[in-house]
Amino acid sequence: MLRSRLIPALLLDGQRLVKTNRFRQAKYVGDPLNVLRIFNEKEVDEVIILDINASTKGLEPNYRLLEELAAECFMPLTYGGGINSLKHAEKIIELGIEKICLKSGALRDLELVKTVSENFGAQAVVVAVDVVKRGNRYKLHQPKKTSRIWDDWLEFAQSAVSAGAGEILLTAVHMEGVMRGLDTKLIASASAVLSVPLVAHGGVGSMKDVEEGLYAGADAIAAGSFFVFHGPYRAVVITYPSSDDWGM
């Protein structure tokens, strides 16, 4: 049985790393190269880097920065943001980045998922599914510019898998950045029907939260604030649990 993965999820805003709270209030947390060097020393499982503004601003990925990050990173690296064509994906894979994460491009047209998967294999394709809870209902969180409106988040996730996604990054937007625990109900709903690895993201504040997310059905846990904020005043301190604390 494969060991469960615990993955830092880093957010790029231009050439700096930030951390958001429910996708708002971006706070600067460091230089991406310096943060990756720290994670190298701590021997993390893998890293996810997401450019939070590339797609909304209509920008291509920052290939020069990604080349520097890929050269610095000693662990498997996933990148998402501004990927809207096979050409974009090809450039990123050529830089040595192992996985492509698609969100806006996948929401617009799942043919992009199929094309990238056919060219690089399903194991190289992650589709990000962002979900927000309104009352007792879960809804797909999607950019206003998206031409196709998906009514059901789980239908979108299943369709992405059918199109060729080899992994789903499931973010509970309503829990993202708050460090009060993962939405285990959401995780269980996705795990019950998806046939590919599920990475749960949004809400981790302790190792107990990680354990509960895995028990709910996640194959891996991604977190941001848990690795960059420390103490009641949320001081920026880059951390990662030791192997003694993390051996699931």
Catalytic residue ranges: 130
* Beta-sheet strands, E only, within the chain: 5-13, 16-21, 24-30, 47-51, 77-80, 99-102, 125-134, 137-140, 167-172, 198-201, 220-223, 229-230, 235-236
Read off the tokens for 158: 């299943």
CA dist 246 and 71 (Å) reads 26
43 burial (CB, 10 Å; 0-12 / 13-18 / 19+) is: exposed
Token pair listed for 124: 């190289």
Cα–Cα distance measured from residue 132 to residue 138, given in angstroms and rounded to the nearest whole number: 6
Helix 111-120 vs helix 86-94: angle between axes, to the nearest 10 degrees? 40
Nearest in space to 54 (alpha carbons), one of 130, 117, 105: 105
